[in-house]
Amino acid sequence: MLFIREPGAAHYSKGAICLDAGHGAEYTGAVYEGRQEKDDTLRIAKEVRNVLERQGQKVLMTRDGDDNIGLKERTDLANRYRASVFVSLHRNSGSGKGVEIWVEHTQPEPDTTLANNILTELEKAGIQENRGVKFGYRENHSNADYSVNRESEMPSCLVELGFMQNEVDNQFFDDHLHDYAVAIARGIMKTFGIPFDESKI
């Protein structure tokens, strides 16, 4: 079963899987030669939704268009509908390469397992480099968290699907969009022991 994380207790829920396409509208996220993070995150979120729905899973999207949705609105939506898991999808910025996934700094076991399962599946699908599961908020902020991880009441993680300024990462993202979606869906379902039907990918 899927459970919502709350202090001092495990509460069980059969709520939808919440997919969060990072950024939106004027909040473009990382930009590189006309390419905008907000567009990539929506592309992958919609593709993950399609895969999960073919697997018979309920999906809750924080946005499914080019909308300006505040960070608190995103987690409030997931919390209000008692989503069973929250996965925030992003592209990284800077001079690095590869995929990394962020979890709350307290390293809760279900969140960490979720992140590891997704990352393992993404590596199988094809990524330039596995940068690992990381905790907290960026480098040298070990006691802080990304808002979506801090405010969500269910297992959550923030997935950075390659660097926008790295053309190889961009090529991997474009060439493996569907494979990445299958990997993310498979990682989520594996975490909670839900059988994945390989004939419906």
pLDDT, tens digit, 9 for 90 and up, residues 61-74? 999 999 999 999 99
Q: CA torsion sign, 93 to 97 to 100 to 104?
A: negative
Q: Is the pTM of this model over 0.75?
A: yes
- The region, left, alpha or beta by phi > 0 then psi within -120 to 50, assigned to residue 160 is beta
pLDDT, tens digit, 9 for 90 and up, residues 117-150? 999 999 999 999 999 999 999 866 667 999 999 9
